[in-house]
Structure 1
């Protein structure tokens, strides 16, 4: 039984109106080092979400007017919890959405979403109990697109978490970069340098050696 005795007074500023919806921020659970700890009342996060090196938040667009967020209390007496679900429509028939569906059908996610108050994002899911999605593709006279549903497999103790920490976006963080590194950097053995470049490096390195060994104090000629 909870030790807290809390009120839930009438909210301010017509908070019951529909929330303006935006893009979803997706986190792959294997990219997460840790979610932030929560304050004593169990909802507000303290600090940032920590990700593995080079990992980032990923963006998923769902048509704002189709987005729905649902939290359902579930379970038997003495084992009740909260089961989260997020749904929405991705419009069109682009290659990228089909690739997303194929490659992530059994992938667990934590979802970060905005809120009406603009102060806190909401966290849906956890590393231990992520959301998994199903996708139904429709192409008929009413429109074309994917209906995506992200849902937890079982209930847990949190209805959701409030988060105002850092969100780092880089959609290409784990893609192979389209950069010719041989044209930017010299290899340690010099095997990607031509004769003129070798002569230039030798000149620079010789100058560095002279400066460090003969003018070690003020590094001046």
Structure 2
């Protein structure tokens, strides 16, 4: 049960933007064995994958990563909609395969900020992220993909998960960037 406590300003520069690591971890909630949050409804205490399942790492231009929640709803029905937005440079077969095969999946995403031990976790088992926008541009101005993920149901706020609870992806370079151990026998090859 949550006990109210004071919430002071964390530092003189608390509102300064925080750099994001250039990979977003994405997973299908169908691959999750256990997902739990603590009594306050914010800290994720378990995120375990079914046997032979793992998250993937998707490269995102770090300056375009936006992870946030918005509140909405009427009295006694308010909750939070999670959002993860980012751009992926280039248009490629691999990225189009990723979007084509995840457009209707129930997704979760972890966004890691530079120098922090916790990641922000978006989506829940009962209110997963949906790919609400998957646009490409191949023009004189840009060659990129724009992805928006959002929950369609209201839920608790964005979760916080200890980086030590995150399972490594299939990509060695992404794991190194994210500060995760490489899985045994891994050779890399994520998006």
What is the TM-score when the length of structure 2 is the normalising length?
0.81
Greater Rg, structure 1 or structure 2?
A: 1
**What count of residue pairs does the alignment treat as equivalent?**
169
Confirm whether residue 127 of structure 1 aligns to residue 125 of structure 2.
yes
The CA distance in 2 between the partners of 1:19 and 1:45, in whole Å, is: 21
Q: Which segments of 5 or more consecutive residues in structure 2 lack a partner in the other structure?
A: 172-191
Residue 81 of structure 2 is matched in structure 1 by 83
Tell which has more relative contact order, 1 or 2 (C-alpha 8 A, sep 6+): 2
Structure 1 residue 3: deviation in Å?
6.2
Residue 25 of structure 1 is matched in structure 2 by 25
Paired residue secondary structure (1:45): strand
The CA distance in 2 between the partners of 1:72 and 1:170, in whole Å, is: 29
Confirm whether residue 51 of structure 1 aligns to residue 80 of structure 2.
no
Structure 1 pair 148/30, CA: closer, same or farther in 2 (3 Å)? same
- Write the mapping of 1:177-196 to structure 2, written as runs, cut at 5 A: none
* Greater strand share, structure number: 2
RMSD of the alignment, in Å?
2.0
Q: Which segments of 5 or more consecutive residues in structure 1 lack a partner in the other structure?
A: 173-221
The CA distance in 2 between the partners of 1:27 and 1:21, in whole Å, is: 19
- Large movers: runs of 4+ above 4 Å: none
* Greater helix share, structure number: 1
Deviations 1:93-139 (A, max 9, x none): 11100111111110111111113551211111111110011201112
